[in-house]
Structure 1
């Protein structure tokens, strides 16, 4: 069912014999990224929502500049809204002049246009067509906890190696060609089958991307399919919880079918109004039997989903309207891969560090606050 849905929702194929590695913190993933970037021989494609100057970006930038000197084709896409308070106006030109081909996605302009709301929320790094990274981790120091914001910043990501990387290569070049005046042919960056023959991995993966320019809602359908197919458990982490009726009904049906449904949200918010909307969903969901956890150490930004002991999803898709309908997103669905036990272990550790919200807590909330949250829910599709 998942394979059929992925193909129908964007022609995303299923791959086998791909190595997978799950990262339970941004710090560990950053170390792996640095190592792989230094080993790049042909090209590096880099796409991020937030790019903030600091230790993390300075380290990566130095590696990228070194790779440019070695003749590696380095390309970078960052979202204008995600970087508008972090980078100088001419930063794109500055990088391009230093050999890093750069585009700012969907530049903010003073106009009434729906397209201004469609942001590139994807995070991906592709190296030589052999390795790819994705997950919740942007390029800013809080993601690797060298700078503290909102307590401990818990984020997660994944690295794949093998033929499945080609879907990220294609996804990157689709956005690149949209931004560029010149059309880059995919074939120049896709590897022949023989280059993957020595790579062996367990299970199957479906790398995917999602776009607001069609009606497929691939990210949401991934969540719904995993939820509807779950027999024992459906666990998910999300920094924002803004749900429509369809998702609430799916969660309710899963609980009624005996599935252990758990949702982890931050204990410390980054956006207070959005956090109040998140909290406005607690009472309804808890009454339906959904377990809501707040990550006590700080802010959990990872977007990880586990269904039973067999399948998981790691990517950029939040459980909110923006990810489901408005933003460009990406991720990887995994089935019986070697990293599934690591994902389960990480989620179990998260539960131990989190507070299980009770119905009594929700009902004892100040009535003025509860009414304020209900009013905010009316505007939740805009958040």
Structure 2
């Protein structure tokens, strides 16, 4: 297979950027966003005239293939200088264009990379719960927590109690939760949905909380709110994010959900993953352990109870915390939270952030996003698969994903493996979407494993890319809501050690899943099956 790295010499860094680290970062941000199909013309003054001359080199198959060979994102000027077809004249022109753009907006739109992080993977409730309680217990300055669901059950109250202890120690606590969706509870139990009871105790102890259900303002309300925020010093690089949300809701009429799940502690430690807080996710019941199957001394296995879900998260020590804090800060202000200075030593302590060897790139998407970089990353992972690639996701509904997978030929399809809880699933049309779209990819060589063989539901959302020795993990479902209407977050981690650990975890899941071997389990002619039409009718809402 052609190695695009070896076919192109390194183009020199433009003189204007040679001593300007911010301009170098802006160049990288612009290129990553543009390769994914994003246009800055409608978002940033100064891009309209120059962008047409830059687009042909960036928005093409060769540029995407090269970036995927780099691991899914361009992270430094050396990689940028080897972009196929690049010339010194083109790079100089790009530097001139980017120098006039809003750096804040570029950072908000493009993936952000930090280095020398230490990343540890956790899977299943007991491991995740113990880690979360331990990290909250070590907090000295502040805790910023954003999660969609926070249930009033056993593990939810354990975490709430630890947060109360932190408040007693003088730790600042800010929390964003969707109160309304949490109130639906689970298992026909509305009592566990009463997060307001937990919130009351936390607020009485000094915590600040916001309800993310109210992520959209009426047109007049937002116009007034925007003026107030601007007068308070909130920059356009934050305000324009809400502008896009407003446009999305006005056009589609759909509600928006903050589906992100992350926490920052003291500006040094952070947690990101696909789990919410509650006994479905962070259950304390011991798992059914697999003999001799461990990662870092933590056993692998499956949840012991049917109502407990298989899920996971990453704990990161390092500068990723600052990237996540910027995401938290923008949402907090737009929801009406108190103002705090991200750059102050309290929130950004002066410590050595070299904790490990992992390079981490944070992807954030939001409703009304002109292009969803998480979706584009996933599409490129399957389009340019050149080695073992494992995709674990609970909901495979996004038609763009299926259309692209159906176009992947046998020479790449043979590298792709998907693991999904096909039968044991809380989504009404996941099975219909898979059966209606998997026939051609299966015949081309894509492997499919059904985690339902464990009689448990897997809510874990993770991708392993062997060629890049990279792992992508976060809140993103492969469905239309995550692609178009919800706030999502994902972390791309490059590093052989972590990749091998996650590969071991996924391999165990595959070993307890059922590998589908008969193509007739999928629909050759999906239009003949009523469930296909149910999926089509509901894919934007469920």
Q: TM-score, normalised by structure 1?
A: 0.89
C-alpha distance in 2 between matches for 1:15 and 1:108: 29
1:3 aligns with 2:95: no
Structure 1 residues 224 and 282, CA, compared in 2 at 3 Å: closer, same or farther?
closer
Provide the alpha-carbon RMSD of the alignment: 3.0
Residue 143 of structure 2 contacts residue 173 of structure 2 at CA under 8 Å; is this kept in 1? Answer: yes
Alpha-carbon separation, structure 1, partners of 2:195 and 2:359: 43
**Given that residues 163 and 196 in structure 1 are in contact (C-alpha distance below 8 angstroms), is that contact kept between their aligned partners in structure 2?**
no
Q: Is the CA contact 1:237–1:264 (under 8 Å) kept in the aligned structure 2?
A: yes
Q: How much does 1:255 deviate?
A: 4.1
Contact 2:115 2:357 in 1 (8 A): yes
| Structure 2 residue 343 is matched with structure 1 residue 203 | no
**Does the aligned pair in 2 maintain the 1:276–1:373 contact within 8 Å?**
yes
Shift of 1:236: 0.7
For residues 32-84 of structure 1, the C-alpha deviation after alignment (integer angstroms, 9 at most, x for no partner) is: 11111101000001111111111111111111111111110001111244312
The answer to whether structure 1 residue 218 and structure 2 residue 373 are counterparts is yes
Q: Structure 1 residues 158 and 344 mapped into 2: Cα distance closer, same or farther (>3 Å)?
A: same
Structure 2 counterpart of 1:372: 530
Query: Which of 117, 120, 132 is the aligned partner of 2:270?
Result: 132
Instruction: State the partner residue of 2:171.
Output: 72
Note if contact 1:78-1:103 (Cα within 8 Å) is conserved in structure 2: yes
Q: Give the C-alpha shift of residue 178 in structure 1.
A: 1.0
Kept in 2: contact 1:234–1:259 (CA 8 A): no
Q: How far is the alpha carbon of 1:286 from its aligned partner?
A: 1.7
| Contact 2:125-2:284 within 8 A present in 1 as well | no
In structure 2, relative to structure 1, the CA distance for the partners of 1:35 and 1:181 (3 Å cut) is closer
- 1:141 maps to which residue? 279
Structure 2 match to 1:358: 517
CA distance in 2, matches of 1:213, 1:340: 32
Match of 2:340 among 178, 184, 187: 184
Query: Gapped runs of 5+ residues in structure 2?
Result: 1-66, 77-105, 186-192, 219-248, 286-303
User: How many pairs does the alignment contain?
Assistant: 379
Residue 248 (structure 1) aligned with residue 386 (structure 2): no
Offset, 1:99: 1.7
For residue 63 of structure 1, the aligned residue among 153, 159, 162 is 162
Q: Distance in 2 between matches of 1:224 and 1:164?
A: 24
Check conservation: 1:51, 1:82, Cα contact below 8 A.
no
Which string of whole-angstrom CA distances, capped at 9 and with x for unpartnered residues, describes residues 323-357 of structure 1? 12211111210112521101111111111111112
Worse-matched range after superposition: 352-361 or 135-144: 352-361
Give the whole-Å Cα distance in 2 for the aligned partners of 1:259 and 1:190.
47
Q: 1:257-312 CA distances to partner (integer Å, 9 max, x unpaired)?
A: 36411111114112334443344333343233322211021111000001125111
Partners of 1:181 and 1:158 in 2: how far apart? 27
Equivalent residues of 1:25, 1:144 under 8 A apart: yes
Whether contact under 8 Å (2:274, 2:313) holds in the other structure is yes
Between Structure 1 and Structure 2, which shows a larger proportion of strand residues? 1
Of the three residues 452, 461, 475, the one matched with 1:303 is 461
Distance 1:285 1:382, change over 3 A: farther
Q: What pairs with 1:103-118 in structure 2 (closer than 5 Å)?
A: 103-107=210-214, 114=252, 117-118=255-256
Change (3 A) 1:9 1:63: closer
Cα distance 1:74–1:175, how it changes in 2: closer, same or farther (>3 A)? same
* Highest RCO, 1 vs 2 (Cα 8 Å, sep ≥ 6): 1
1:15 to 105, 111, 114: 114
**Which residue of 2 is the match for residue 325 of structure 1?**
484
Aligned partner of residue 338 in structure 1, secondary structure:
helix
Aligned pairs (5 A) from 1:312-351: 312-351=471-510
Distance 1:357 1:327 in 2: 32
Counterpart residue number, 1:26? 125
Equivalent residue number for residue 92 of structure 2: none
Task: Give the SS at the match of 1:18.
Answer: strand
Deviations 1:62-111 (A, max 9, x none): 111111111100011112443122334854455323322111102499x9
Question: Aligned pair in 2 of structure 1 residues 8, 52: CA closer, same or farther (>3 Å)?
Answer: closer
Asked if structure 1 preserves the Cα contact closer than 8 Å seen for 2:442 and 2:448, the reply is yes
Tell me if structure 1 keeps the 8 A contact 2:385–2:412.
no
SS where residue 46 of structure 1 aligns? strand
- 1:118: how far off? 1.0
- 2:439 maps to 283
Larger CA deviation: 249-258 vs 330-339: 249-258
